[in-house]
Structure 1
């Protein structure tokens, strides 16, 4: 009887070892590698390639994220530089809507581009200094892979003023139209104890592709720090005189749209004391609203995308992404069946390719992906100007809350 028990124990041990090895292999196959790509040289870019490219296909089930960031030591260069990505060659096993193996490029504003099949020479420019590339392979198909060039697009119009009592700033080519994809940053610093006074000429024409100045715009920080305060301007109405809060002022001009304008010209001078500048709009808290109530009554301003504290303070917020789990946009739950999101996130998608996560505080959390059955995009949405950028997602199952 003892020998039988020993045989059983050995057999059971072998089974447990096999299960452990299988589980370890599954964990290994499902793990996602993260590669940080830092661009710190204006003259040289970096090449991002799949393993074995171009002589060998990428491995089966290969998954990787590339976190790409411009990392320049000079503050004004960091603020004014853009990131350019060029798909020098992409050969990825094709599928309907790229549901299987795919390459995704995600920019900070939520813009997402998905690729599979053959591509070459396509260039994308981000108006910020960062982007994320995700490659998701599977066990079904393989191809040659990808080669992507990441490089910095430097600004030729940015300028730093230190201890200068006055000066002129203007958009490129002024009074002629500025170009596409221009970025200019002006960092103004006058002696301590003084203030910066900014006065615009009458001609002010920054193309307003939409009401929120999402494409071409002018940013002004009265504190000299965009993370602390910022005012945004576009259209044909020149701003009133702007007085800084201290001896510094930070200004940024950005153009993205196809249609351009004459831009602007402004003069800054050092000023002895702050004058009464046009009041900023107060931050209002709606009262008596039956929906959208946060889980705490504490008011704490969040600046620069800091983590919500405590977690799940805004329970109506949702993550919108591919059904495979990669998030690319946000949304808000407006009732137990519908999610409100941006049209540019989903206008060229099909319901089967989109999923949402509800109650997720961190991207590292594992929360269920909910399927949707219908995408309704505002029929007035303009993909070029981004006007009327709104859409509804209908959930396959109602949410209980």
Structure 2
């Protein structure tokens, strides 16, 4: 029996369409159908027909419920393992074709049948068992058992199989001492992932690998890297190490379909797909700069790959090696002494092992107390993502359990003495990246000298108190505040920055910041031109606003073209707002979904990236513009293979340098770290520089420029264009956008070496204009920092303001002027791309 290609063994019978006892009465004599006094014969006929129909319906339902539904059967497969304590492992057990393997497998299957047949809930549904593999310790058997279960009994069988260990214990106690029966211990069983028994699989591929000391083997999906992995295929790799070692699996390339419902890899701490032993499920694209490494708890591991019929990708490649138990690489826990220090979970920042317990005993000088702070805390797995119920993997600090995924500094604990105990436990299933922690000796009477002490014991700078940001993580630094003159005083006592007023987001939590915003009355809607009209006039076919905005997003076929409606390539207009590249064909000619291979990165963002550093390949449209012989000066965005968008103020000549000349510049693509030009980086020269003719060097109005490359780019995983919005595209106030760059701003300052990223929020134009002293024109947009410290966002002149919309990113703006995002409470000013869409198209044909 092969669980991967065994089909349904039961085909339900079908009842006949009609019950022969039910007959339809003829009505050929029209006179019999004439109305008569009282019910008469016709009334009786109708009554009989209705009664017969009701009886037939009820009979059919009862027959279906008690016969057909009862006989619908489900194939259930349960994978499991057990330790055979009265056998010694032989090398021949690794070979499923060996005589020794077959003999022991037959004995295991026979004994399992005896166990199942003695269970009233299982005996009548049991089909058979097969042994998939053996491994050391004494001998571990990995089995698969099949049951043919009525649908109504499926839950009951699941419940019994979940406690298979109890059935085995009961059977073991009945075995006579002089019997040659196998002795089972550590019995585990769980239902097989139904996706692994899909009847749509066309092929099943099996591989095995036994690694040795001082040897690194490799596994890869079929065809990698030259062609995609096969469709409709289930693949598995059984990995083994020597006894006394654990397996190290290191992925250096991983590129699967983004949706795990289609193609996915699952890794098991076992030799068979036991769901209670799954370590992780993965799909998508993982950057080679952030490799994934897994460690087994014993000397076996299973890697599976399941694919469907479409969208196949290159796949993966991984290296397999073994590590001896007790080695430094697997170090876990220990004694920590001194005034400060650090420690991490095993294998950090990669995945820790399943089934481990580590304990660190920390001791600082007498008279001090221990303060521990976690800079990274990633212990999330199915069932405890929110960290409220720590029944699986957790860290225990002085009796307090912590789990889930936490922000940097959110987990901070202080001891009552100069000693502290920290315990880390992982269970048998699902592993994560783990944690990084530091400890220090502090004065219990003054734990935060010259700083503010949060209720969480975390210390933050005093100037961060009452500034509108939740620096403590529990809002304790924002409570009982007297707000500054440039802050909003919320009715609930909180303080919020002025530029969050009237942005459509309830920042206060009591809507104080969204009051007195010149909104419309109840029952009215606000037009784009700020006029208020009745809700009843919305989508009535008339332009009540005067700018046509009350007729947008209306489901009508014939739409009058205005400045606000989206114009398809065939010159027909649609009322839908932002229809470009949203996955739905709205234009008859499909032009709203054309040219949508943009604004996407192929990498699955890793949570382990620290601070505000972007991940390599996360923003593949980001360009670094260098002055030849000098270095990075400005940023830019890729909009096509030959054209870039940047800021006009970056290309204005001064007394020393002719920035307007293409020969002055060189552009770097796919760059992540300055001065590190790896194989992903491409350097190009420029053919021409086009600054906007109406650029004003004093007001920074019309601050946009175009650059043409001397030769077209070849797009890669690290070099891709961002989507250009239509002129009618709406970038809503309050929505989050991304700013990226290497830190150079108009005002100067030192640049970051690694590409930085930060989330900012689009700010209400009127509020921003007030903040900036009336300097905001209709061609500018404002965005501010949502979270972080003074250096949370390091912008870069000319770089992109990336607006996420569905699975794409659109170029909303170009970094122009102001304080960028380098300081708190200072909005950055950006050139609005939609205002220049026609000019860009005229010059570039993009």
**TM-score w.r.t. length of structure 1:** 0.38
Richer in strand (by share) = 1
Bigger-Rg structure (1/2): 2
Larger relative CO (CA 8 A, sep 6+): 1 or 2?
A: 1
**TM-score w.r.t. length of structure 2:** 0.20
